Structures are given as C-alpha cells and as structure tokens.
Amino acid sequence: MEAYINGVSAVSPQNTFSAGILPDTPVGYRDVRFLKSADPPWSEYLDPMVARRMSRIIKSGSCAALKALGSAEIKTPDAIITGTGFGCIEDTVRFLTTIYENDEKLLNPTPFIQSTHNTVGSSIALMLKCNNYNNTYGHRIFSFENALLDGLMLISEGEAKNVLAGGLDELTPEFFKITDRLGFWKKEKVDSLRLREYKTPGTIAGEGSTFFVLGKEKGLHCTTKITSVQTFFNTSGKGETEEWLKSFADSAGNRPEVLLLGINGDISNDSVYGNLQKKIFSSIPAAYYKHLSGEYWTSAAFALALADGIIREQRIPEIMRLDDLQYGNINRLLIYNQFHNRAHSLIMVSSC
C-alpha cells in the first residue's frame, strides 16, 4: 500500500504553519517542562462566530486541515481520518468541572458535545459539508499510524482517491499534572533545543496538529509518497523488536538513506534507539525531532511532515542532526518512533 503526499500542514511549537515545515530558524524554549504549539491565525481560516465556540485543539486542527487541503488544491476529500491519543481534553475537563461546581445542574452541553475524540474530524466535515467516510482512531501511541493505515487501505482498495488524514493532541494543565505524577516528564526545567544532552529520566511534554492530503495520483506539487507503515507491540522488551526491525530493513526497497528517530531526552527511552541504531542502521545518517515538538501521542504526524520537507528540499537541518555522516540524494527516509520499548512504529517515506 502506498499513497502520494499531495498536501501537508502542521501546527506545532515551531513556526511550521506560516514559515515552512523545516526549522531553519528553530524556536528554542528555555527553562521549560513542556512546549505549547504556536496558534495559527484563526480568523484567516475560520468564521469568527463559529470559532468562538471551538476549543483550542478544534481550531488548530481545523486550520491545519484546511491549509493542507488548500495546498493540495482539494475542496472536498473522499475521506477524513484523524488520530488522537486523548482527544479534546480541555472540553472534557471543562464539562467535568461544571458538573462538580454546579452540582450537576444547569450544565452547558457544548463542552460535552465537543469532548469526544472525533470532534475535530466531525467539525472539519461540517465546515466542508463533507458527508463522506469519517473515522477517528484513539489508540494512544498508534493513533496516527492507524489513521494512516486506514487511509492507505481506502486508497489501495479504490474506495477513495483523496484522503485527509491527521494526527493531533493537546496539552492542558490537568493532563500535564496527571502524567507528571506517572513519571512521564523531567523534574528539572530544560533548554528544549538541548534536550538530548539531559541524561535524566523523563522528557518534555508537547502538542500539535498535523494534517496530510493523501492521494491515489500524484499532485502537481507532490514530491513524496508513503510506501510502508508498520506497528509492533512488544510486551517483553527483548530481542523481538530487533528481529522485526532487521526484517523490515532487509526487505526489498526498505533500506533507508536517512533515519528520523523519536529521541526525546529520556535516558531509558533513548538507549533503545541507540542500541538498535548501532546494530542495524550504523552507517545511515540520523536525525531526531522531539526537541522541536515535545512528546505527545501523535508526534509521528509531525515527524512525517518533517520527512516530507527533508525529501522535498534534499537536506537535513543542522538542529535535527544526530551525527556527521555524509548523505547524498535522499530518496528514502524511515521514521522510527517507540514508547517505553513496548509500542514501536515505522513509516517509510520515498521520493516520487
């Protein structure tokens, strides 16, 4: 299964929405434990009367989707597929807080209606007046990958020619507090652009909304295509992951020329990448991205946008590089992301 990337747009802590995907002038954050995405210009994409009832994640997701469709010159996609780890947390918290404070009386229904995982996908469909296939995946670390696989299958089976697929998650104070108690985040404040240098437990939280227009046919401005998406859940954390990666790399046409890794500054998390990189991909130039976005469930969507930019412009920004290995033409890039050495995903992106 494969599909062309005909349009892309990303809302992130970097200036990716307005200044281009690749971080030529990266935005650094000092003394932080989390990164918030930069708000796009809502008024340029959304009706102000409609936008005032939307939470932040709905607005950022809608703007990213509309811009991706615009770059692909597509008005109405044949399918809208989103992936999100926890959905619209802000509206969920608002509704639960109102229940408590109002003693379950005189409740505003809007936060409840907008608290579900599929709110962003349905909001986009309403704006576009699109009655086609619409689905949302809430599978934690695999949320975006499953949305991507669904889109690839629809295109492969002839059910759709153009699919709008995206991954999005938001960061709220409540979510950060709960996950901080679970040990997800670093206890010390860090300089985001030097994240890899902190050899301590935990990482920095992040958020983002990234959308793609996947096509059966190559668009006018297309330079990349997705050729493979694979996920692997390994509860033992032993050698099965290495065997899976080696089998993928040895498959015909799957040897990448550049790696894009989900290194996030957590000493135990990053050791997984280091070990597998030395054993399987030691001669391949590598880059990383979570110092630009922070860690969140669908960060692989942001990585895919960066991969599209790297192949499109045939260069790796210095702020993303992990080594000094020389690279030539970049025709195949492999994104490898994993969570606690249990959930692993691969996305192969190729030039076209």
In the chain, where the domains are located = 3-215, 224-351
Query: Would 3-215 and 224-351 be classified into the same CATH topology?
Result: yes
Looking at domain 3-215, which CATH architecture does it have?
3-Layer(aba) Sandwich (3.40)
Query: What pLDDT digit, counting tens, does each position of 38-82 carry?
Result: 999 999 999 998 888 899 999 999 999 999 999 999 999 999 999
Spatial separation of the C-alpha atoms in residues 4 and 19, rounded to whole Å: 23
| The CATH number, out of the four listed (3.40.47.10, 3.30.70.260, 3.30.230.10, 3.10.300.10), of the domain defined by the range 224-351 | 3.40.47.10
Put the strands of the sheet holding 79-83 in their side by side order. Answer: 133-137, 79-83, 162-169, 208-215, 3-11, 224-233, 343-351, 332-339, 258-261, 286-288
What single letter denotes the amino acid at residue 60?
S
Spatial separation of the C-alpha atoms in residues 273 and 242, rounded to whole Å: 11
> pLDDT tens track of the chain, all 352 residues?
999 999 999 999 999 999 899 998 999 999 999 999 999 999 999 999 888 889 999 999 999 999 999 999 999 999 999 999 999 988 888 888 888 888 888 788 887 888 888 999 999 999 999 999 999 999 999 999 999 999 999 999 999 999 999 999 999 999 999 999 999 999 999 999 999 999 899 999 999 999 999 999 999 999 999 999 999 998 676 678 888 888 888 886 778 999 999 999 999 999 999 988 888 998 999 999 999 999 999 999 999 999 999 999 999 999 999 999 999 999 999 999 999 888 999 999 999 9
Query: What pLDDT digit, counting tens, does each position of 191-238 carry?
Result: 999 999 998 999 999 999 999 999 999 999 999 999 999 999 986 766
Query: What pLDDT digit, counting tens, does each position of 12-23 carry?
Result: 999 999 989 999
Global pTM exceeds 0.85: yes
What single letter denotes the amino acid at residue 93?
V
Spatial separation of the C-alpha atoms in residues 200 and 214, rounded to whole Å: 39
